[in-house]
Chain A
Amino acid sequence: MADFSWDVRSPLDRALVVGPYGAQGDAGLALTEIRDFDLVQVMARRGKAGAMTKATKAHFGVAAPETPKAVAAADATLIWSGPDQFLVLSKGGRHALEMLAPVFAGSASLSDQSHARALISVSGDKARATLAKLSSIDLHPGVFGVGAAAATSMDHTSVTLWRGRDRSGLAVFNLLVFATFAESLWHTILDSAAEYGVTISHSEEFA
């Protein structure tokens, strides 16, 4: 049998160039790719939504999101992705697929999405102005507060969008996008934000 050598790398490996982009001066946008995360899709089996909810509470200590929002547990974030389903985002393997499988045995179907999505964090003065060019979701703080989430589309691409904790008094928006669409969306975000100036980076830490 042939030996395969898998080279794990980000879907944005080629597109992401660390440093300043676009207009010079104080950057209006910080664009950061978050790498090396665990992501598991949890979907209730038919008629088992109640059992899934109980299992979630027992394991994470918080209620599963039943409306579009992102719920912070001690060491994971549960993000609503549709009726009776959510994503578990974490680091370090503590809530990886094999750890969650016994938790949701019989109540939910799990699917490992860790390497199937790219995670992009958008923050800074012009974060909302940039995303407003790509999204029809109302991101005004009065409507889309910390913890708000949406399963939506940007530039004809399905994304999971949620607002994380503020950083330096500014809103932080997180985007999960299918790996094969990540480069396209990345370029679209850069085009939209070029007029504000962008600081591009990647990180192993959640925003």
Chain B
Amino acid sequence: MRIVCPFCGERELGEFTYLGDAKPQRPAAGADAVYDYVYLRDNVAGVMSEHWYHGGGCRAWLKVTRNTLTHEISAVEPAAGAGAAKVGA
């Protein structure tokens, strides 16, 4: 499997580290919501959005859209906050 880093180009899997599901958003409050956020994950068979870290390269966090059945990657974009230019003023 290879990932096309939006900053570096196409790289081998060994340069990346997998974090997990990119969908969960930190809830503002509520014990049940926080429990869900921390512990519960969908076991997606198909297209899912994931966080990957390009630690062996540019050290940016990426959001990768990957089909867990075929490993086909349909999109890669910088995760929120990757690169100072992308954030606020």
Contacts and interface: CB of A to CB of B under 8 A. Distances in A.
A168 to B, nearest CB: 30
A45 B88 CA distance: 11
Given A45-B84, A84-B84, A153-B15, 9 more contacts: A47-B85, A48-B84, A82-B60, A83-B78, A83-B84, A136-B11, A153-B57, A156-B56, A158-B55
Contact of A81 (B12, B14, B56, B58): B58
Given A151-B57, A158-B56, A47 B84 contact: yes
Contacts of A156: 14, 56
Interface in A20-70: 43-50, 52, 68
A118 interface: no
A150 interface: yes
Nearest to B56: A153
15 contacts: A44-B84, A44-B85, A45-B84, A46-B87, A47-B84, A49-B83, A49-B84, A68-B7, A68-B8, A81-B58, A82-B60, A82-B83, A83-B78, A83-B82, A151-B59
A68 B15 contact: no
A158 to B, nearest CB: 6
Interface of B: 7-9, 11-12, 14-15, 55-60, 78, 82-89
Contacts of A45: 84
A158 B59 CA distance: 10
A152 B9 CA distance: 11
A33 B12 CA distance: 28
Contacts of B59: 82, 151
Nearest to B14: A153
A43 B87 CA distance: 14
A99 to B, nearest CB: 22
Interface residues of A, number: 21
Contacts of B85: 44, 47, 49-50, 83-84
A152 B88 contact: no
B11 A152 contact: yes
Contacts of A158: 55-57
B84 A152 contact: no
Contacts of B78: 83
Contacts of A46: 84, 87-88
A50 to B, nearest CB: 7
Nearest to A149: B8
Contacts of A83: 7, 58, 60, 78, 82-86
Contacts of B60: 82-83
